[in-house]
Structure 1
């Protein structure tokens, strides 16, 4: 049993720990053994074994004395290399920050989950500065998608190591960030669940930014229930407060524009089959054009992407100095494009964004929006490393569907719905308008087994 602790869901492992059938110290040691035996050494950038064992011993003592902190006490978690962990340098997937001072304290959400009894096992790899949806990292290596059986495929990014760590059974949950899809994309590519919260739902203190008007947080895990439990602790709750909502009468809106453009046939087939299962379970589906989708891409063509403008503002001094030569040249190239967005352009984007959010909220109402998380399955790594033009084209297509939700301030959860080309996973993205996370997660709890179908 010990070898499979990391492959369990949070809920499954919690039952064992809370019942006394598994001790947190044994769980932590087994998780580190599993990580140590895993062939791909690019999943983690650093392991925090001393801290984890100290936390596990404290958890074990509490449980022995009948003082459990709750459902998450003793559960291991991995943290994306954007979250401050006391005593460690936050490198954000880059070598240029390696000489920075170590963090003086944990990030706010790291501290909250520590207070819930969770065990921090280490930091996971990522796209440099979180600025790619592919997960390729030339500095620390690129984690290989464990679902690929034919050839090495990308993990998705930017939370690449987080997605692989969960999908490979190394940890039950890993924390990611999502600015344009960085939780939902690796979840879709690796066949797991990824929940992106509404921006501002969780504290961002101590999280290295990419674009503050778009950045949000969320867990990558095995199922929606795990996401609900983690979300509660991230908000300082002692127990989950989200309940399952019935599918009967659920109204889903499927966009007819943008999100299916150039989609792989296998992705469309898996999505439509899941949609049919949802209808058979009582959901009502309507299809319509969402004009704001086209306007968003028109805005990007005219003024440049919002994320690129804010990334350039964050990194412009670094890009003007010697550090630029030590960064991934593709990150440098993409970030420098933000220089073209003037202050007037930036303000125009923000004004248009507010209008489009309001327009879409009126159009969508209380419905959930459903479409494929990504229009294609995880492609092979090698061609993307060798061809910059292919890299940028694939990155744009990979981010396209999920980035719409960030621009519109949606919350979303990617759930596996089947397989496409080469047997690789396909994700169905359920989204809701801003601050409707409770409704989204409550429905997702009921919808998940229907959406998954036979996907394990």
Structure 2
């Protein structure tokens, strides 16, 4: 185990585990020790040490006796603190839920990955109630982006701890949720892969919600192949079934609306370099305006945001009681905006959403996928955001802008590292597909990844 560093992928660990070179118990112990000894203690809200070692021992017994449950048997996994794990309190990153009853059972996807032999290591920190794209948490601390070498920078949210745990090499994969970009944003900021599945691809049973019309799940990991393996297990498949796409048949569309507004030059340069590599590898690239994107934000300005309306409905009683004083006041302020959204507004948003989803589908040719920067800037410094509420909300909105389009249109997306921008910080490239085009998206991402990273 001493020869295995924290940057090994799920697939790489699988080879070592299945061959007997690495024992699941040693791997689990090393992961727990790394987390306990890591200088940043804001990444996890809870370590599941007893459970992890028990699961690892079972995995070790299976592997030694030739009864492996499959590719993921013995591989560690961490869970965003929105997923129920039996015997733990699901805090949702909030101080007000600390005294809630422990979960009586695992969430459905926790059971699915446990059934595939994975070892649950711990529960990761997040923006309170998952309601921010920045990852700042005043209750459990804010995890620092491990890619930063000049100053403490944000991890991205809301799956903040999940992104940092993987990027720091503490676990090979962590499972997050994505309502407006909460998987793809920390993936891009931390230089890892993040896959947001189509809403409904996995069971939401036992997952604390934010906005049920938008909430989706997915893994944060090191490679697209890892994401494909985890996706199969989350759907209780015995093995992945995604094939590579021939890059010569890949048709990618770069939107010219919204997504490049106020983009940092370094982000644009890294993105365009990756696009050039894809084009040289045979992908067909076109650029096109998407007025639908602008209309999405116009609807939000006119009627309010869908996420805000549903978050307010979820937390209305909490906001009206004493618990509001114990919450992150920025979360409180943003959630209370939902009080101004009337039922007529909400119906108008839902109707417009369905219309725009149909219009978006009509605007793409069969087989086309979108490609653009995941976020228009690299991870900013934490300190200015803590000191200035106006700056916080401005940067939060900009951070969520590109990714939230995919949530509103009910699609799927994979963020892949494509280089670096300002201060050497990671830049993410987002491949996106329409609703239920996950197989085509993952297939394309699998083939494109090596080219995007410059490895091919």
Alignment match, 1:110: 110
Alignment match, 2:59: 59
1:8 deviates by: 1.0
Alignment match, 2:407: 406
CA contact 1:108–1:203 (8 Å) conserved in 2 = yes
Alignment match, 1:86: 86
152-161 or 4-13, larger mean C-alpha shift: 4-13
Alignment match, 2:448: 447
Q: Distance in 1 between matches of 2:122 and 2:412?
A: 27
Alignment match, 1:322: 322
Map 1:199-210 → 2, pairs under 5 A: 199-210=199-210
1:453 deviates by: 1.4
1:454 deviates by: 6.0
What TM-score comes out, normalization by structure 1 length?
0.99
CA contact 1:193–1:224 (8 Å) conserved in 2 = yes
Q: Distance in 2 between matches of 1:423 and 1:453?
A: 16
After superposition, the Cα gap between the structure-2 partners of 1:340 and 1:3, relative to the gap in structure 1 and judged at 3 Å, is: farther
String of CA shifts for 1:14-71, please: whole Å, max 9, x gaps.
0000000001001111111111121000000000000000000000001111100000
String of CA shifts for 1:252-282, please: whole Å, max 9, x gaps.
1111010000000000000011001000000
Q: Distance in 2 between matches of 1:66 and 1:249?
A: 41
Aligned residues: 455
What TM-score comes out, normalization by structure 2 length?
0.99
CA contact 1:5–1:31 (8 Å) conserved in 2 = no
Alignment match, 1:224: 224
Map 1:43-442 → 2, pairs under 5 A: 43-365=43-365, 366-442=367-443
Q: Distance in 2 between matches of 1:377 and 1:80?
A: 23
String of CA shifts for 1:206-230, please: whole Å, max 9, x gaps.
0000000000000000000000000
Q: Distance in 2 between matches of 1:43 and 1:285?
A: 39
Q: Distance in 1 between matches of 2:33 and 2:334?
A: 39
Q: Distance in 1 between matches of 2:51 and 2:301?
A: 47
326-335 or 31-40, larger mean C-alpha shift: 31-40
Structure 2: give runs of 5+ residues left out of the alignment: none
Q: Distance in 1 between matches of 2:172 and 2:254?
A: 31
364-373 or 195-204, larger mean C-alpha shift: 364-373
String of CA shifts for 1:134-171, please: whole Å, max 9, x gaps.
00000000000000000000000000000000000000
CA contact 1:81–1:92 (8 Å) conserved in 2 = yes
